[in-house]
Chains A and B, each alone.
Chain A
Amino acid sequence: QKEVEQNSGPLSVPEGAIASLNCTYSDRGSQSFFWYRQYSGKSPELIMFIYSNGDKEDGRFTAQLNKASQYVSLLIRDSQPSDSATYLCAVSGGFKTIFGAGTRLFVKA
Chain B
Amino acid sequence: EAGVTQFPSHSVIEKGQTVTLRCDPISGHDNLYWYRRVMGKEIKFLLHFVKESKQDESGMPNNRFLAERTGGTYSTLKVQPAELEDSGVYFCASSPQGALGTEAFFGQGTRLTVV
Q: What residues make up the interface of A, taking CB atoms closer than 8 Å to B?
A: 2, 4, 31-32, 34, 42-46, 49, 88, 90, 92, 94-102
Contact = CB atoms under 8 A, between A and B. Distances in A.
Given A96-B48, A97-B45, A99-B43, A44 B101 contact: no
B42 A99 contact: yes
Given A43-B106, A43-B109, A96-B56, A34 B100 contact: yes
Contacts of A101: 41-42
Contacts of A94: 98-99
B89 to A, nearest CB: 9
Interface string B74-113: 0000000000000000010000001111101011110000
Interface of B: 4, 33, 35, 41-45, 48, 55-56, 58-59, 91, 98-102, 104, 106-109
B99 A32 contact: yes
B41 to A, nearest CB: 7
A43 B33 CA distance: 14
A34 B97 CA distance: 15
B78 to A, nearest CB: 21
27 contacts: A2-B42, A4-B42, A31-B99, A32-B99, A32-B101, A42-B108, A43-B4, A43-B91, A43-B106, A43-B108, A44-B43, A46-B102, A49-B102, A88-B42, A88-B43, A90-B100, A95-B55, A95-B56, A95-B98, A96-B58, A96-B99, A97-B45, A97-B99, A99-B42, A99-B43, A101-B41, A101-B42
